C-alpha cells in the first residue's frame, strides 16, 4: 500500500509511534510518505520505501498566526496526486485530521477518493482538544474520518465521554519493537558513569509538562533514597524542569539526581535502570513506561488513563492514585529492597512488554488500512 503518515515530528510519544509504525510498514514492503514540518526525530531516511515531504509555512508579517493547516492540506493533495498515495493516516486530531479532511475534499473535487485513518493519542482529546475553542472542530474531524483508532480503551471511553462521536473507535495499543530496542551491542556507556555499584538507578523520561507531575517524582525519590542508596536519572526537557532542579536543591539531593535534557541515549540509560517512575496526572497510554519495560525495568505509576492497560499492578510494577507519593515510594522500596524481588519484577516487566511487540500490533493497522481502501 502507498500510505501518507502525518504526525508531530517532535520527541512526544505520538510522533515516536507514528515514526516507528511507518518504518515497520516500510520494512514490510509498503511505500510510506511522512508529511510534516520537520524530519521526525526517530526517522532514518536511509531506508527504502520511506519518503519525507516537508511542509513549509511561509512567514508573512501580516499574519499573527501562520496557517499551518492550509499548507499541510495543500501538501497532502500535491503528494497524493504525485505519488498516487492510497491512504492518509493522521496521528492526532488537532490539526491533522482537520487538514486531512480538507485534503480529502479538495481531492474529491478532482475525482480522487482517498480514505483517512485518524489515530487519537490523548493530548488531542483529554488536554487540548477538549477546550471549548477546539471542541467543535475536533468532533467534526473525528466524525469525518473513515476509520478512528485510539491507543487505549481508556482513551476510547474518554473520547465518547468528552465529544459527540458517532463513529466506531478501534483500540490499537501502542507497541514496541523489542528486537530493535534490546540491541545490547549498541550499549556503549558504562553504568559507573551514572551510579555506584551499590546504588539503585531510578529513571524518569518525559517532556516535563505539568501533566507528568514532576515534583511527585522528586518527592518519591527523596523517600526512596532515605532508605536505600539510589540515584535518579531525569531524562527530557520541558517547562517543569527548572522547578524540579530547584526542588532537588531544596531537599539537598542535587548530587543524587542527574538531569540529562533531551537525550538520544535513552536505551543506554534504560538498560541500567532498576525502576521507572511515571506518576502522571493522566496518560492515554504511557509509551515511556512500555519502553522501560522492554528493558526489563519495572514501573511505579499512577493509575490514571490507560496506564493500567500497560503497567499490570503487582506484576510489572505498581499503580497508585494520582498524587499518592507515600504509597508510590513504599511500593518502589518493596521492589528495590532485595535482588530476588527486583529480578522477579524485571522478568515480569519484560514479559508484559512482549505482549506489545510490534509484530502483534502492526497487522491490526494493516487490516484496517485494507478495509478503509476497500470501502472507499
Contact residues toward ligand GMT (CB under 6 A) are 12-14, 17, 121-123, 151, 174, 206-207, 211, 282-287
Residue whose CB is less far from ligand GMT, 14 or 273: 14
Q: Note whether 165 and 159 are within 8 A (CB).
A: yes
Distance CA 38, CA 275 (A): 33
In whole angstroms, the minimum distance from the beta carbon of 39 to ligand GMT comes to 17
C-alpha cell read off for 198:
551499590
Q: Is the dihedral of CA 53, 45, 1, 3 positive or negative?
A: negative
Residue whose CB is less far from ligand GMT, 15 or 100: 15
User: Which DSSP letter does residue 41 get?
Assistant: T
Residue whose CB is less far from ligand GMT, 253 or 310: 310
Residue whose CB is less far from ligand GMT, 207 or 268: 207
How many Cβ atoms from other residues are within 10 Å of residue 39's Cβ? 14
**Residue 50's beta-bridge partner residues?**
32
In whole angstroms, the minimum distance from the beta carbon of 206 to ligand GMT comes to 6
Residue whose CB is less far from ligand GMT, 204 or 231: 204
In whole angstroms, the minimum distance from the beta carbon of 12 to ligand GMT comes to 3
Residue whose CB is less far from ligand GMT, 31 or 267: 267
Q: Maximum distance among all alpha carbons in the chain? A: 68
Determine the distance from the C-alpha atom of residue 268 to the mean position of all C-alpha atoms in its chain, rounded to a whole number. 19
Reported as type and span, the H/E element at residue 163 is none
Q: Note whether 193 and 268 are within 8 A (CB).
A: no
In whole angstroms, the minimum distance from the beta carbon of 42 to ligand GMT comes to 13
Select the residue whose beta carbon is closest to ligand GMT and give its number: 122
In whole angstroms, the minimum distance from the beta carbon of 97 to ligand GMT comes to 14
Distance CA 14, CA 24 (A): 15
In whole angstroms, the minimum distance from the beta carbon of 200 to ligand GMT comes to 25
Residue whose CB is less far from ligand GMT, 95 or 224: 95
Residue whose CB is less far from ligand GMT, 83 or 260: 260
In whole angstroms, the minimum distance from the beta carbon of 159 to ligand GMT comes to 12
Least Cα distance to 258 among 278, 239, 271, 244 occurs for 244
In whole angstroms, the minimum distance from the beta carbon of 375 to ligand GMT comes to 25
Q: Looking at the chain, which runs of residues are DSSP E strands?
A: 2-6, 31-36, 50-54, 87-91, 116-120, 147-150, 169-171, 200-205, 230-235, 257-261, 275-278, 299-302, 317-320
Amino acid at each position: 500500500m502507498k500510505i501518507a503518515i502525518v504526525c508531530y515530528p517532535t520527541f512526544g510519544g505520538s510522533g515516536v509511534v507514528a515514526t516507528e509504525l511507518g518504518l515497520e510498514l516500510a520494512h514490510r514492503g509498503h511505500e510510506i510518505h511522512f508529511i510534516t514540518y520537520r524530519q521526525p526525530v526517530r526517522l532514518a531516511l536511509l531506508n527504502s520505501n520511506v519518503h519525507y515531504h516537508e511542509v513549509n509555512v511561509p512567514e508573512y508579517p501580516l499574519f499573527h498566526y501562520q496557517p499551518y493547516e492550509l499548507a499541510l492540506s495543500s501538501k497532502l493533495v500535491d503528494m497524493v496526486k504525485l505519488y498516487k498515495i492510497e491512504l492518509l493516516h493522521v496521528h492526532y486530531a488537532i490539526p491533522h485530521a482537520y487538514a486531512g479532511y480538507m485534503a480529502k475534499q479538495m481531492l474529491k473535487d478532482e475525482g480522487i477518493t482517498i480514505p483517512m485513518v485518524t489515530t487519537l493519542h490523548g493530548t488531542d482529546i483529554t488536554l487540548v482538544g477538549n477546550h471549548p475553542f477546539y471542541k467543535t472542530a475536533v468532533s467534526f474531524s473525528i466524525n469525518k474520518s473513515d476509520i478512528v483508532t485510539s491507543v487505549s480503551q481508556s482513551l476510547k471511553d474518554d473520547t465518547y465521554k468528552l465529544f459527540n462521536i458517532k463513529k466506531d473507535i478501534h483500540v490499537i495499543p501502542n507497541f514496541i519493537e523489542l528486537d530493535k530496542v534490546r540491541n545490547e551491542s549498541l550499549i556503549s556507556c558504562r553504568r559507573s558513569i551514572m551510579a555506584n555499584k551499590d546504588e539503585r538507578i531510578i529513571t524518569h523520561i518525559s517532556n516535563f509538562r505539568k501533566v507528568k507531575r514532576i515534583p511527585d517524582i522528586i518527592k518519591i525519590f527523596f523517600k526512596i533514597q532515605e532508605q536505600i542508596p539510589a540515584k535518579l536519572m531525569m531524562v527530557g526537557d520541558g517547562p517543569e524542569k527548572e522547578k524540579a532542579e530547584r526542588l532537588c536543591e531544596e531537599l539537598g539531593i542535587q548530587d543524587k539526581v542527574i538531569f540529562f535534557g533531551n537525550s538520544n541515549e535513552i536505551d543506554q540509560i534504560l538498560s541500567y535502570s532498576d525502576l521507572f517512575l511515571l506518576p502522571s496526572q493522566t496518560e492515554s497510554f504511557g509509551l515511556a513506561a512500555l519502553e522501560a519495560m522492554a528493558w526489563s525495568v519495572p514501573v511505579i505509576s499512577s493509575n490514571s488513563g490507560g496506564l493500567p492497560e500497560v503497567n499490570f499492578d503487582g506484576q510489572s510494577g505498581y499503580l497508585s492514585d494520582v498524587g499518592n507519593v507515600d504509597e508510590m515510594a513504599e511500593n518502589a522500596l518493596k521492589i528495590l529492597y532485595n535482588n530476588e524481588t527486583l529480578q522477579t519484577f524485571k522478568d515480569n516487566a519484560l514479559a508484559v512488554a512482549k505482549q506489545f511487540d510490534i509484530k502483534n500490533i502492526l497487522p491490526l493497522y494493516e487490516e484496517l488500512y485494507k478495509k478503509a481502501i476497500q470501502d472507499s
